Amino acid sequence: MTSAELTGGPNATFGSASQHAMKGPAEGEAAGMVAELRQENLRLRQQLQALTRDAEKNAAIFQRFHALELSLLHSGSLPELLERIVNRTREILGLDEVTLIIHDPEHEVRNLLATSGLEVPISPGVRLIDRPPSGNAAYGRLLGPWLGPFRDEHLELFRRDRRFGSVALLPLVAQGCLFGSLNLASADPDRYTRRHSSDFHCRLAGVAALCLQNVVDRERLVVDGYTDRLTRWKNRRYLDTRLPQEVARALRYGESLSCLILDVDHFKQINDRYGHPSGDAVLQEIAGRIKGHLRSSDLAVRFGGEEFVVFLIHANVEKAAAIGERIRHCIADTPFSVRGGLRLRVTISGGVAELKGGDSADDPAAIAAATLHRADTALYRAKSEGRNRIVCDDSS
């Protein structure tokens, strides 16, 4: 072997240096790629974490809205639904104020609330209006959900003594027509902005509108079932439902409650002589005249045929008898017009009984029936004593 071969020779030494020189750039390139991959991996992990946080946040928001929607859908009555739309929305979504505006030009919602017979408080955030807010620009252009900063034009939709950071105005629409709005307010100016998605709020407004329409329709049917078609008074079925509640309340608070039963004298003769249409007209006018002497709090029903029953709230037997006398004079002193232009004089008889203070509150329905029976007995005496008079129950 030559000395060159033993020492590697000039070529061998040069070749080794060339190899090192070739490996240097490759290794640097690989190291750079590794660093880039690590950066990309870090970026992807951060992006994944952000997406996970967003997903968890959206899931939490969805759960809150879902709980709110279930609460509205499970409302059992109109008063309960109105209370939940305002108060539960504020509680579940963590808002500073929520108001509900409903157009009620015919006072239908007001009347349904008045006849519900349920002692459910209505939130002060509920506003029933005869017409849309006059000249309110924010409301006038409310064609869809509006999210953004609180402005002066929003004062009319909330309490005027408060200002907020941001608001969400959600239109309530039925059959393509705007009939109100659900208004959400937060002190946080970043809670609602123009860049926020309104998907959840659109759905909430749709559910609220649907629930309102359904419960109004349902309670309208209930009221119709409790209403006498001829006189538009409540009927005996309504009395059976409502009277035990009034009796229980009167006994619980030690308040006076009296029953006045009124019956038209010789009504069959009116039907026989002048015809049933004339008889119906007389009953309608009698109902109107009686109503003129009652308060809105009194419980008045057409009991059947020509008989009317009134439970007078906060009235003892003497006061009830005085009211009965005024009604009797109102009917007897002014003739009724019947078919053919005839003027017909009509009289009524009445019986009065007061809820007994010693009655037990254990069975309000039985106590109500007993009070009705005593008033009916007094009415029978009025008939037997010559009619056209009011007689009070004299039982001990």
Predicted TM-score (pTM) of the model is 0.60
Given a cut of 70, whether residue 251 has pLDDT beyond it is yes
Q: How confident is the model at residue 13 (pLDDT cuts 50, 70, 90)?
A: very low
Residue 115 confidence (pLDDT) = 67
Q: Which residues pair with 181 in a beta bridge?
A: 101, 171
Q: Which of 234, 212, 214, 215 is nearest to 225 (CA)?
A: 234
pLDDT of residue 54: 66
Is the pLDDT score of 10 beyond 90? Answer: no
Burial class (CB in 10 A: 0-12, 13-18, 19+), 284: middle
Provide the 3-class DSSP secondary structure of residue 122. coil
Of 116-125, 179-188, 344-353, the least confident:
116-125
Most confident of 143-147, 220-224, 239-243, 322-326: 322-326
Confidence of residue 24 (pLDDT cuts 50, 70, 90): low
- What pLDDT score was predicted for residue 4? 42
Q: What confidence score (pLDDT) does residue 68 get? A: 87
Predicted confidence (pLDDT) at residue 389 exceeds the cutoff of 60:
yes
97 residue type, one letter: E
Most confident of 29-33, 122-126, 378-382: 378-382
Band (34; pLDDT cuts 50, 70, 90): confident
More confident residue, 15 or 306: 306
**Among 156, 102, 111, 159, residue whose Cα is nearest residue 134:** 156
**Residue of higher predicted confidence among 160 and 337:** 337
Q: Are the C-beta atoms of 173 and 207 separated by less than 8 Å? A: no
State in Å, rounded, how far the first CA of the chain is from the last one.
147
Give the per-residue pLDDT at 198. Answer: 84
b/e per residue, 335-368, with b = 16+ CB within 10 A?
Answer: ebebeeeeeeebebbbbbbbbeeebeeeebeebb
Split at pLDDT 50, 70, 90, the class of 221 is confident
On the CB side of 246, how many CA atoms lie within 13 Å of its CA?
A: 27
340 dihedral zone (left: phi>0; alpha: psi -120 to 50; beta)? left
Mean pLDDT, residues 46-68 taken together: 75
Identify the H or E element spanning 184.
strand 177-186
Residue 94 scores a pLDDT above 60: yes
Q: Average pLDDT for residues 71-81, to the nearest whole number?
A: 90
Share of the chain above pLDDT 90, in %: 49
- Two tokens, residue 216: 């109004």
For residue 86, give every residue at least 6 positions away whose Cβ sits within 8 Å of its Cβ, in sequence order, or none. Answer: 98, 99, 100, 123, 125, 126
What are the C-alpha distances in Å from 122 to residues 59, 67, 80, 84, 184?
32, 21, 8, 9, 18
pLDDT band at 138 (very low <50, low <70, confident <90, very high): low
Tens-digit pLDDT profile for residues 276-320: 999 999 999 999 999 999 998 899 999 989 999 999 999 999 999
Domains annotated for the chain, with CATH where assigned, are: 71-225 (3.30.450.40), 234-392 (3.30.70.270)
pLDDT in tens, 253-284: 889 999 999 999 999 999 999 999 999 999 99
> From residue 357, how far is each of 215, 232, 396 by CA, in Å?
38, 33, 11
- The rounded mean pLDDT for the chain is 85
233-238: average pLDDT: 91
Q: Averaging pLDDT over each range in 95-104, 123-132, 220-229, 352-361, which range is the top one? A: 95-104
Cα dihedral 239, 245, 247, 253 sign? negative
